[in-house]
């Protein structure tokens, strides 16, 4: 049955990598799929094309509250006009925006959620959004943080804090949920992405999976961006695919910046192995997390 397979993550956590892999896996091209074709297979949820048929106004003229009111209707319409499963990217928190749900359970058939060490996320997010590291630390701790529309796309996303985002998606119970760590994807891309291919039911063909993994390697993505550019690159960044590594925060963050992130997000960081378990030696004391 048709429905949305959510590819969800906080920004700069590996979502685009997953989309490129799935696009290459599904289309099975003889050469790496050009980046501009990703959206043909893995659409983006905050895309004006889904909202435009539901309003007489230009989407850019809608208030944030009006967009929030249309969001799940747009998702359900996307399913109604498709006969196949729709892999769909979102950076939205799974909760409510102006009292309206951000994600339609009715339209959903599954979730792939990617989590990444927030100390590494903050470096990429600062570059992407044109912020200082300190500003990015504050952004990731703010429960009211909203994503900014891409050029030619004005639809916002309520992201919330990094902790709120992780917590909101990893408690999803409406459909099958697969949670991946970016760091595990880096360490074993064939194993992790191959698991996704098999569990989602796309293919069991080992050669096809291996080819799609190779076609979506970070080296391949950097080379393609250098040759043809990438529409999702921020105007603040020199490139979208920056380093593709884990642990870079040790070289980039001051001790104070790292400590602030660890205090803001200690609970979720411990859940996913980014900090020692509570009681395992001295560690940061988390701030009280607010209920969603």
Average pLDDT, the chain: 87
Lowest mean pLDDT among 10-14, 64-68, 196-200, 235-239: 235-239
Lowest mean pLDDT among 50-64, 68-82, 199-213, 267-281: 267-281
**Which domains are present in the chain?**
3-271 (3.40.50.300)
C-alpha–C-alpha distance, residues 272 and 260, integer Å? 18
pLDDT tens figures, 23-67:
999 999 998 888 777 888 888 898 899 999 999 999 989 999 999
pTM of the model: 0.88
pLDDT of residue 220: 78
Q: Residue 170: pLDDT above 90?
A: yes
Q: What is the mean pLDDT of residues 86-100?
A: 96
pLDDT tens figures, 225-276:
666 655 444 444 444 454 567 788 998 999 999 999 999 999 999 999 999 9
Q: What is the mean pLDDT of residues 87-99?
A: 96
pLDDT of residue 124: 87
Quick one: pLDDT band at residue 281, thresholds 50, 70, 90? low
Alpha-carbon torsion angle 157, 163, 164, 165, nearest 10: 40
pLDDT tens figures, 118-154:
999 999 899 888 899 999 999 999 999 998 665 556 7
pLDDT of residue 261: 98
């Amino acid at each position: 049955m048709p429905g949305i397979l959510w590819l969800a993550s906080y920004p700069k956590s590996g979502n685009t990598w997953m989309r490129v892999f799935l696009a290459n896996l599904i289309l099975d091209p003889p050469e790496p799929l050009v980046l501009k074709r990703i959206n043909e297979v893995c659409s983006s949820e905050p895309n004006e094309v889904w909202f435009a048929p539901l309003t007489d106004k230009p989407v850019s003229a809608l208030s944030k509250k009006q967009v929030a009111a249309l969001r799940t209707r747009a998702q359900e319409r996307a399913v109604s006009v498709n006969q196949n499963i729709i892999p769909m990217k979102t950076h939205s928190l799974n909760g409510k925006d102006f009292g309206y749900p951000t994600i339609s359970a009715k339209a959903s058939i599954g979730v792939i959620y990617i989590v990444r060490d927030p100390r590494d996320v903050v470096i990429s997010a600062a570059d992407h959004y044109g912020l200082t590291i300190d500003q990015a630390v504050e952004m990731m701790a703010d429960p009211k943080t909203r994503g900014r529309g891409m050029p030619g796309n004005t639809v916002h996303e309520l992201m919330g804090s990094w902790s709120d985002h992780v917590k909101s998606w990893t408690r999803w119970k409406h459909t099958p949920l697969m949670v991946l760590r970016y760091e595990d994807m880096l360490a074993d891309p064939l194993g992790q992405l191959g698991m996704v291919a098999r569990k989602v039911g796309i293919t069991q063909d080992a050669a096809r999976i291996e080819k799609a993994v190779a076609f979506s390697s970070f080296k391949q993505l950097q080379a393609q961006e250098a040759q043809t550019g990438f529409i999702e690159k921020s105007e603040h960044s020199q490139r979208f695919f920056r380093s593709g590594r884990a642990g870079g925060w040790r070289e980039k963050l001051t001790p104070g910046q790292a400590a602030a992130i660890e205090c803001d997000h200690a609970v979720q960081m411990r859940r996913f192995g980014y900090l020692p378990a509570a009681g395992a030696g001295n560690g940061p004391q988390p701030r009280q997390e607010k209920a969603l």
